[in-house]
């Protein structure tokens, strides 16, 4: 078993990337718009684990509603098992 990825909800990817890149030294793999989830996701590499910074692109998206209720921060950890 290993951690495949960790998803973290953020209000602004560009601001969050300053911390994740400059302070923690992680590299950006790519940034992708996911229209059906109304989200923008930055994929960062951390060893074999990927960090996903997720920003809602619409106030009516599921991610935005989740953040309105619980705030930004850890959303989920995905474990990979054999």
80 within some domain: no
**Looking at residue 41, what is its pLDDT?**
98
Query: Which tokens in the block code for residue 64?
Result: 């935005």
Our count of domains for the chain comes to 1
64 within some domain: yes
Segment 16-57, tens digit of pLDDT = 999 999 999 999 999 999 999 999 999 999 888 999 999 999
Domain that holds residue 10: 2-75
42 within some domain: yes
33 within some domain: yes
Q: What is the CATH number of the domain that holds 56?
A: 3.10.180.10
13: CB partners within 8 A, 6+ apart: 31, 40, 41, 42, 53, 55
9 within some domain: yes
């Amino acid at each position: 078993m290993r951690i495949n990825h960790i998803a973290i909800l953020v209000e602004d990817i560009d601001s969050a990337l300053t911390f994740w890149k400059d302070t923690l030294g992680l590299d950006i793999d790519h940034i992708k718009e996911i229209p059906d989830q109304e989200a923008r996701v930055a994929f960062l590499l951390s060893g074999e684990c990927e960090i996903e910074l997720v920003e809602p692109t619409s106030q009516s998206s599921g991610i935005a509603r989740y953040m309105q209720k619980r705030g930004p921060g850890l959303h989920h950890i995905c474990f990979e098992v054999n």
